[in-house]
Amino acid sequence: MAFKSKIKWVALFVLTLSLGSLTVHLSLTKFSSMSLVQYSAKEALSHDFPYIGSPVGRNKRLWGAVRSLESLQPYANPRNLYPVPGKTSNGFIYAKIFGGFEKIRSSICDLVTISRLLNATLVIPEIQESTRSKGISYKFKSFSYLYDEEQFIASLKNDVNIIKSLPEHFKSARRRSEFPTFKPKSSASPNYYVKEILPSLKKAKVVGLIIMDGGCLQPILPPILSEFQRLRCRVAFHTLQFRPEIQILGLRMVERLRAWGQPFLAYHPGLVRDTLAYHGCAELFQDVHTELIQYRREQMIKQGIVNDELSVESHIRRENGSCPLMPEEVGLLLRAMGYPSNTIIYVAGSQTFGGQRLLIPLRAMFANVVDRTSLCSKTELSDLVGPETPLPPDVFKMPNPKSEEQLKEEWNRAGPRPRPLPPPPDRPVYQHEKEGWYAWITENDKEPNPSPMDLRMQAHRLLWDALDYIVSVEADAFFPGFHSDGSRWPDFSGLVIGQRLYERASSRTYRPDRKKITELFNIIRDDMYHPKRNWILSAREHLNRSLSEEGLIRQSLLSKPTSFLSHPIPECSCRISSVEITKPIKGKDGRILFGGEPECPKWMQSARAEKARTDETEPAEDENDEPEQLEPDVISSLTSLIDHDEEWDPND
C-alpha cells in the first residue's frame, strides 16, 4: 500500500513539472516575436561577396581560356563572288514557323538561305507561338515579339530582299488559299527546292512554307554552297538581334552577375518533356511525371516522329548517353572540377520538367544558384511582356451533386443482388490539382487542348529563353545538361555552344560525353558523395578534354549533321597565323572536322595582336590546381533534404 502511494506522489510531481514547463513555453511564445525571412539570391551573394565591384584574381584552371583554340576567330564574310540581289525576283516566300525558341532560330536561318538560293523575296516569317496566343501586347506582332524587324531587314539588304508583308493584291488571294503551300522537312536538300518549289514559285509568284521540324534545309551543304553556310552564320550570329527591350534587360542581368567581381557559370538542365519523351527517359522520374512523358512519347509514335516502342528501358538509354544529366550529377561534376561552393551558377531554361525539386541537390552543393527571377524584378519582367488583354479567370467547377432521386434510380438500375459496397466519399480536391497538367492526367486519358492561358505562357517562354540565351552566351563558362547528339531537332544548349564557338572559340564551353559520364557515375553510384581521388581525376580529365579539340571533333561528328549552327566551323571561322600549324582532321566521309580554316585577313591579325598586348598587362591569375574536396556540411545538408519525407507540391 505504501509503495502504491509513493508511485502516485511521483506521478503527480512529474505531471506538475510538465504543466509548469508547458506554461513557460507558451508564455515565451506569446511574448516573443519571430518573423520568417524570405530567401533572396541577391542577399546571399552579398553575404558571400561583400565587396561589390572589386574584381579578384581568377583561377586559371577553372575560368581561363582554352589556349589551343585561341587562334580561331569568327569570319563569316563572303569570300568568293557574291553579287547583291537585284530588284527583280522570282516571287515571294511567306512562312509559318511552329515550335519553341530553338526551332524558330534555326528555321529563320534556313528561310533566308532558301530565299537566296531561289532568288526570292522573303516575307517576314510568322512565329506561331506568338500568333496563336490571344491578347498579347499590341506593341509586338509575331516576328517582332522576339526579334528586331528593322535590324533584320537592314542587315540582310546585301543578301536577300525582305519585306514586312505581302503586297496588297496578293493578300486577298492568300486568304482564299490560292497559292501553293509546302511542308518541307528539316533534311530537305537544295535540289528539292530547285526542282519542286522553284517552278511553282515562278508560276504562282507566291509560295507558302510551313516549318515544324526546326528547320527546312539540310545542315551540311555541298562545298560548292559554302557561301550559303556563311550566310547562315551571318543570320544567326549577327542579323538575328532580339528586340531592344530584351537586349537591354539581358545585358542588365549580365551586369548584375558581374557586379560582384566574380566569374559565373551558366547551366542549362535540358530537362524538356519532348526531349525526354523522344529518347525514352520516363523511368528517370516518378509517378505522374513518368505518365506525362509516356503520353507525349505515344503522341510522337502516332505522328511518326519516333520509330520505336512505347516502353523502353530508360536506364539503358541513360547508359547510352541519350538522356540528360540530372542536376545532382552536374553538381558533382562541377565539384570534381574544383569549383568552390560559393560559385555563382545561373540556371537557364524557361522551364525544367520535374519542377524545382530536381534542383535541390545542386542548390545544396552551390549556395549561389540564381535564375532570371532572382536577378529581375516582377516589374521588369512584366514590362518586357508589355500590356496584355486580361483573360477570363479559369475557375475550377466541381461536378454538380446528384439528387436523391438520381441516386435511387442508379441504385435500381445497378443490377441483381448481392451488390458491392458503395464507393467511399470523394476526397477533397486541392488547389494544385485544379490547374495545369495535374488536373487531367489523374482523370482523363487524353490531354486537353491548350487553354488561352497555356498559349500565353508558351509565348512568354520565348522571352524567358531569349534572356537566358543572352546570359548563357556571355557567361564565363557554360555547362549543358543536354546538347546536340544527333537527334532530329536543335536544342537550346546546342545553339549556345555554337554561338560561343563562333564568337570566342577559346571560351570555357564544356561538351561532356554523357555516355562516358554515366560510366563514371556507375562506378560510384552507391556512394556518390564520397568519390575517391582517382575518380575525381578521371572526371576532371574527361571534362578538360571536352573543352579542347577532342570535344570539338566529337561534336562535329554528332551534332553538325543535324544542326549546323551548333558547330559552324570551319566554314564560318578563320585562323590567326601562328607558329603552330594545325593539320586538317577529316571524317570518314571526307568532311573536314577541324583544322581546315583559312588564314584570317591582315586587319583581323593586327587587332588580335593589339588585344594580346592588352591581355599581358592584366593581373596574373591564380593557378592553384589542388582539387577542392566535398565539404561535410554540404553532404549532411543534402542528405537531410533528400531524406525529408514531407509531401511535396507537384507544381513546385
Residue with the bigger pLDDT between 387 and 427: it is 387
Peptide bond into 78 cis (omega under 30): no
- Give the least confident one: 7-11, 36-40, 204-208, 361-365: 36-40
Q: Quote the CA–CA distance of 137 and 130 in Å, as a whole number.
A: 10
Tell me the three cell numbers of residue 2.
505504501
**Nearest alpha carbon to residue 479 among 492, 466, 464, 461:** 492
Percent of the chain with pLDDT over 70: 81
Determine contact, residues 481/269, Cβ cutoff 8 Å. Answer: yes
Among 282, 275, 349, 336, CA closest to 306: 275
- Contact indicator for 152, 111 with CB cutoff of 8 Å: no
pLDDT for res 418? 72
Checking DSSP bridges between strand 206-211 and strand 181-182, what pairing results, if any? parallel
Q: What pLDDT does residue 621 have?
A: 47
Q: What is the pLDDT of residue 590?
A: 72
Average pLDDT over residues 396-404: 73
Of 98-112, 179-193, 505-519, 569-583, where does mean pLDDT reach its minimum? 569-583
Instruction: Tell me the pLDDT tens digit for each residue of 453-485.
Output: 888 889 999 999 999 999 999 999 999 999 876
Task: Note the pTM of the prediction, 2 decimals.
Answer: 0.84
What integer pLDDT is reported at residue 247 of this predicted model?
Answer: 96
DSSP conformational letter for 121: E
pLDDT band at 289 (very low <50, low <70, confident <90, very high): confident
Per-residue pLDDT at 432 exceeds 60 = no
Measured CA to CA, the distance from residue 329 to residue 219 in angstroms comes to 32
More reliable by pLDDT, 343 or 400: 343
Share of the chain above pLDDT 90, in %: 43
544 versus 601: the higher-pLDDT residue is 544
Domain locations in the chain as residue ranges: 92-238, 246-272+311-384+454-572, 273-310
Query: What digits encode the pLDDT tens for the residues 220-274?
Result: 999 899 999 999 999 999 999 999 999 999 999 999 999 988 999 999 999 998 8
* DSSP state string for 441-458: HTT-SSPPPPPHHHHHHH
Q: Which residue has the higher pLDDT, 614 or 132?
A: 132
pLDDT of residue 603: 74
Return the pLDDT at 328: 94
If residue 207 lies in a helix (H) or strand (E), which one and from where to where?
A: strand 206-211
Q: Which three cell numbers stand for residue 177?
A: 488559299
Confidence of residue 186 (pLDDT cuts 50, 70, 90): confident
pLDDT at 637 over 60: no
Q: What would the pLDDT profile of 479-524 be if each residue is shown by its tens digit?
A: 999 987 666 667 899 999 999 999 999 999 999 999 999 999 999 9
Cβ atoms of 383 and 245 within 8 Å: the answer is: yes
